[in-house]
Every structure is written in C-alpha cells, then in structure tokens.
Amino acid sequence: MMRMLGKDYSRGELSRLVGDFSQVAGVKPYQLTEGKARGARCVDFWTGSGFEFTVMPERGMDISQAFYQGKSLCWRSSTGDVHPHFFEPEGLGWLRSFSGGLLVTCGLTYAGFPSEDEGQKLGLHGRISHIPAEDMRIDRDWKGGDYVLSVEGRIRESAVFGENMVLKRKIWTKMGESRLWIEDKVENQGYRETPLMIIYHFNIGFPVVAEGSRLISPTTEVTPVTEESAKGKEDYARFTAPIPNFKEKVYYHRMRADEDGLVRCALVNENIEGEGFGVYLRYKLSQLPNFLQWKMMGEGEYVVGMEPANCQVEGRAKEKERRTLQMLKPGETEDFSLEVGVLRETSEIEEFERKLESSKKK
C-alpha cells in the first residue's frame, strides 16, 4: 500500500485512476542545453508525496535540486549546474564548478583541503563529483506492493600508473515516500593498494536554514577545525540570519550510534508558517565514523553542510600522519549506505528528537 493525499492505495486501486503511473510518480532522463551545463545528463524523480529531486550522472551521480511540496531542501550556488568539462582540479578550482545541491560526493582517493602528499599536489575535495557515470540504468517497477524508482551507474576514477577505483552507485525511492536511499560500493580494480577518502557533502539551505533553525544530532564532542571555527563554538548547532562578510566555520563531531549502529541527525526550521520542517540523514557509524559540519552564514553563501565521512578534511598527508587513512587492497570493496528524508511537520521533528534521546539512555 502507498500513502498519498492522506489515503492508502493499492496497486490495483491506483491503476484504475491513472493511465500511466508517471501521473503520480516517475523518473525522467534528459539533457541540459544551455551555458556551462550544456551536455550534462539529468534524471528527475518525483514520488507523489511532493518529494522531488534530480540526479546528475555527468557529475558522479550526485543530487542537485531537491524539493518537498515546492520548498527547497538544499542550497544552490551562483555557479549553477556545470558540466565536468569545466573542472579545475588545482588548488581551490573545484569551487568554480561547485553548484551546491543536496549531495556532492568528495573523494575517492583524496578529499578535504588542498594539500601535498609525497610530492603530489592535491586540490580541494577530489575528482569523483566531476566524473561522468557509465552503464547508467533507470528502473521503475513494482516490487511487491511498492512502486520502486531507481537509477544506477558506475563512476571510474583512474590514471595510468595510478589508481583504478570504481564507485557503483544506486539511488532509489518509492512512490508515496518523502525520502531516498543511496547505496554505494567502492571497488579497487587496480593492482596496488590505494587510498580511499570519501565525504558525503550534503548542502542544506533556505528555507530549512533560517534564523532560529538548528542542528539535531547525537553529538558527544565537537572540535573546531580552524581558529575561526573556535569563535562561537558553543553556537555550532544554531543558525542566524545571513551575516555580511561571514567566515566559514567547520567542526568535527563525535557521534553516538543507536542500538542498530545508525547515526540519525537533522537540520530543522520550526517556524515555517507556524509549522516545523527539516531534512534528516541516517547512516552507519561503522561505515562513516567521522561527521563534519560546515557552517556558512554568508549572504548568498548561506548553507549548512552535514557531512558523514570516512576521513577528516585536512588532507591525505595528514590522514597518513594520523594513521587514519583507509586503504583498499586490489580487488577489495567498501560499502556505504545512507538515507535522506524530509521531516514534514512539528510532530515528526518531536518524534525524531524523542528517538535520539531514547537511544542516548540505552
């Protein structure tokens, strides 16, 4: 059964009401034709609940636009959508094609701040989000009583005399849902041990981010990454109206998992037309032991990053120095799974917090 418009529907009941199920929920591939985005493939999803999002196969199968009943879930930058042809990997050049969006994947062999490792200069946040997917497959079909919508593909980060890493990604949702799932498998298809660094860079924006909005998380310890971040550290979980000339702040969180080994966190605004609204993440702590928070309260650059990761952000050489750099042997794989969804009203936010508090007591 699927719940829409306040009512439960079976497949048979719904098929009597529509000529094609895309009238309610569907997937549509297309290609952009204008400006710096020209040639980039997109895949739109809509579920019938008001939940909509766009996957960009040209950009590592990241998620750009995302909405719930017309309200944006994410921040979008001034660059707009950018084809990977314009990628500038050196230094901070990554920012010239950082369009924001719900998810930008950072990695695979390096991520975080620009750095140098064994004489190799590494730019900001890696290459994977600028590599087009191959073997893309879209599916929309009934599985039991669920109408499941999905896209999957593989993204290869490789170089002669270097790495040969493949990310196999599936993003899927279901009719009537206000959430999606990301299932990733990274495989080392090369013949030498290779670093694996990955950050899931979720970029939450207005109207979720607004004056008075807050971060809800099972945080046990917060560490500022920079001197600037240390200023006002006590307010890491609360957000203001846009501030002129604001300097970004980045924090490491130590998170507590629940009895199922999952971390649940959310960013919420409890006053949108008198009702609450938010975006939540759920992921396995064993897969992604680090959590980074990016707090950017600038004008136009008004965004909060919720970023589960298997690394920190000070660069690959620093990970080696700490002996925290994850390595994949030839043929070895690593799985990552995440759930992203909408908290649609105040009661759902309250229930989310109750579950967090309950897990802390166990």
Residue 203: what residue type? N
pLDDT digits (tens, 9 = 90+) for 210-226: 999 999 999 999 999 99
Q: pTM for the whole thing? A: 0.97
Mean pLDDT score of the chain, rounded to an integer? 96
Q: What's the whole-number mean pLDDT along residues 64-69?
A: 97
Beta bridge partners of 147: 142
The torsion of the CA quartet 235, 239, 241, 244, rounded to 10 degrees, works out to: 60
Q: Which of 141, 146, 143, 181 is nearest to 27 (CA)?
A: 141
CA distance 306 to 253: 10
Token couple for 234: 């006590």
Q: What's the whole-number mean pLDDT along residues 127-145?
A: 96
Residue 360 has pLDDT above 80, yes or no: no
The secondary element (H helix, E strand) that includes residue 255 is strand 249-255
Is there a contact between 241 and 211 (Cβ–Cβ < 8 Å)?
yes
Q: What's the whole-number mean pLDDT along residues 259-284?
A: 95
The per-residue pLDDT for 79 is: 97
* Percent of the chain surpassing pLDDT 90: 93
CA distance 362 to 357: 9
User: What is each CA distance from 95 to 14, 90, 100, 126, in whole angstroms?
Assistant: 45, 10, 10, 11
Is there a contact between 199 and 192 (Cβ–Cβ < 8 Å)?
no
Q: What's the whole-number mean pLDDT along residues 294-306?
A: 98
User: What is each CA distance from 81 to 50, 53, 87, 351, in whole angstroms?
Assistant: 23, 14, 12, 36
Token couple for 282: 């759920």
pLDDT digits (tens, 9 = 90+) for 7-38: 888 999 999 999 999 999 999 999 999 999 99
The per-residue pLDDT for 362 is: 62
Question: Please, which pLDDT band fits residue 359 given cuts at 50, 70 and 90?
Answer: confident
CA distance 204 to 201: 10
CA distance 53 to 65: 5
Residue 274 has pLDDT above 90, yes or no: no
3-state class of 346 per DSSP?
A: helix
Is there a contact between 2 and 147 (Cβ–Cβ < 8 Å)?
yes
The per-residue pLDDT for 270 is: 94
The secondary element (H helix, E strand) that includes residue 283 is strand 275-284
CA distance 60 to 72: 22
The per-residue pLDDT for 361 is: 63
pLDDT digits (tens, 9 = 90+) for 157-193: 999 999 999 999 999 999 999 999 999 999 999 999 9
pLDDT digits (tens, 9 = 90+) for 90-122: 999 999 999 999 999 999 999 999 999 999 999
3-state class of 319 per DSSP?
A: helix
Sorted by where each starts, the structural domains of the chain and their CATH numbers stand as 2-360 (2.70.98.10)
Q: Which of 344, 341, 1 is nearest to 172 (CA)?
A: 341
Q: Which of 269, 227, 266, 265 is nearest to 249 (CA)?
A: 227
How many C-alpha atoms does 100 have within 13 Å on its Cβ side?
A: 23
User: What is each CA distance from 228 to 83, 104, 295, in whole angstroms?
Assistant: 33, 24, 11
